Amino acid sequence: MSGQGASGFAGLPLAVEVDYSLDDIIGEGSFAQVFRAWDSGGGMVALKMVRPEDHFDDLPFDRTESDEQEGDDEFSYSLVLQSLQDELKSFQTVGRHPSIVEIVAASEVGDMVVMEMAEIDLYQYIHRHSKFLTLDLIQSWSAQILHGIDHIHKSQIVHMDMKTSNILIRCDGSVCICDFGLACRVEGHKEVKKELVTLWYRPPELIMGCTKYSNSVDMWGLGCIVLEMLLGRPAFQGRNDARCTCTVSRHWNFNSDQLMQIFTLLGTPEEHEYLQSMSCYRHFNFWPIFPRKLEQSIQASLLVIGGRKNASAVLCEVEAWMQLLTSCLQFNPERRVSARQTLACRIFSSVPQADESDDSPKEEGSRNLCARLSGMPRRSSHGGSRFQTSACLQAQVPSASPNQNV
């Protein structure tokens, strides 16, 4: 490669565009495009490139109050480049791990990033192939994601965007966390200064107006991901148009429909003093008391996924899954347990503890998944080898919560 021996941004191997043969676009947003590409050795990679600088000249910018508070004038090329550079720094801080997408190389200034290729993201897989999700596979993937979150949190980094579209499925059936575009360093707690976390995965303390957050926001996201795999759909699908319209500046994250969907499934919290301490309390204190329905929903899903008729066996599994979900889906973030503690839940007792360099054979469910992915349409690549071409459409474009632009 022409960049061999040199360094890219943040000490990564140098990526030079001429060293890669670009194929079709597999994902794009307002600020970047992602291409399927082949390196000089014929290996398939995902190559993310920031759009040219002149693309940003006439780009409409929807200002929000949080933008005004932070002093952002417009969305410029330099701002987008800074965001991507920050993401690369977060990747470097966290370091390599089997449950985190691998960054292969980057350009000198970070406007081009080369990443490992994945088959599909978890959101798409659930949407298209939920009938193939077995309990063993859900169990294995949940454990792998938790190991990734634990590794991230050890570096005092919070991912801030844990959702199924940011979980990639490799062709070997393993999963990894991607998109650190919203990640930030948090030592203990950090002040809320703007809209945070994609709406459907936003934890209730942010919605209700809590002024500080911690790495527990990632654990709520993990609980939503597990729920989505079990239910076959996102559990809390709030409407974007239900945002707070009051004049209180710190109600950036409030969304009445999202909070009501959480209350409807998990029940109204019994911690009245905690609720009253939230700055958005007046927006929901007149709501009726919602009964908890989570256990019934999980039991119904397990009957479908497991295909069991034995009620006692299903009840036993419901209890094991509920232990996991309850540890993550606590209304009070101080009561959510860490990723490391969550791995001790009974549901993972049969899952081998992953080593950070683990290349052990995958479970039977993952092998069956590999077989399905191998049956997808293929095409010939450069050099005569054959590679999978079903790639994640969203995985490599930085995502943001509704009304966020970075």
Instruction: Please tell me whether residues 152 and 103 are part of one structural domain.
Output: no
Instruction: Please tell me whether residues 133 and 265 are part of one structural domain.
Output: yes
Instruction: Please tell me whether residues 149 and 237 are part of one structural domain.
Output: yes
CATH number, domain at 63?
Answer: 3.30.200.20
Q: Is residue 88 part of a domain?
A: yes
- Catalytic site residues? 161
Instruction: Please tell me whether residues 134 and 86 are part of one structural domain.
Output: no
Task: Walk across the sheet containing 175-177 and list its strands.
Answer: 120-121, 167-169, 175-177
What pLDDT, in 10s, does the model give residues 51-90? 888 777 665 555 444 444 444 445 688 888 998 999 999 9
Other Cβ atoms closer than 10 A to 4: 10
**Among candidates 4, 29, 31, 36, which has minimal Cα distance to 19?**
4
Q: Is 234 left (phi over 0), alpha (psi -120 to 50) or beta?
A: beta
Q: Which of 328, 348, 368 is the last residue of a domain?
A: 348
**Residue 102 near residue 96 (C-beta atoms within 8 A):** yes
For the chain, the domain total comes to 2
Instruction: Please tell me whether residues 196 and 69 are part of one structural domain.
Output: no
For 64, the domain range is 9-117
Q: Flag whether pLDDT at 4 surpasses 60.
A: no
CATH number, domain at 232?
Answer: 1.10.510.10
Q: Is residue 398 part of a domain?
A: no
Q: Output the pTM of the full model.
A: 0.84
Q: Which of 98, 117, 136 is the last residue of a domain?
A: 117
CA 358 to chain centre: 22
Q: Is residue 358 part of a domain?
A: no
Q: Flag whether pLDDT at 26 surpasses 90.
A: no
State both tokens at 196.
Answer: 């945070």
Instruction: Please tell me whether residues 339 and 216 are part of one structural domain.
Output: yes
Residue 389 pLDDT class (50, 70, 90 cuts): very low
74-78, 208-212, 305-309: least confidently modelled range: 305-309
Instruction: Please tell me whether residues 89 and 136 are part of one structural domain.
Output: no
Q: Is residue 331 part of a domain?
A: yes
6-10, 102-106, 341-345: least confidently modelled range: 6-10
What pLDDT, in 10s, does the model give residues 231-271? 999 999 999 998 888 777 678 899 999 999 999 999 999 88
Q: Is residue 219 part of a domain?
A: yes
Binding-site residue ranges for ATP: 48
Q: Is residue 384 part of a domain?
A: no
CA 282 to chain centre: 31
Q: Is residue 373 part of a domain?
A: no
Instruction: Please tell me whether residues 102 and 134 are part of one structural domain.
Output: no
Other Cβ atoms closer than 10 A to 279: 15
Q: Which of 82, 117, 152 is the last residue of a domain?
A: 117
| pLDDT (mean) for 298-302 | 92
Q: Flag whether pLDDT at 322 surpasses 60.
A: yes
Q: Is residue 400 part of a domain?
A: no
- Distance separating alpha carbons of residues 400 and 306, to the nearest angstrom: 35
- Distance separating alpha carbons of residues 406 and 202, to the nearest angstrom: 17
Instruction: Please tell me whether residues 277 and 145 are part of one structural domain.
Output: yes
What pLDDT, in 10s, does the model give residues 150-209? 999 999 999 999 999 999 999 899 999 999 999 999 998 999 988 899 999 999 999 999
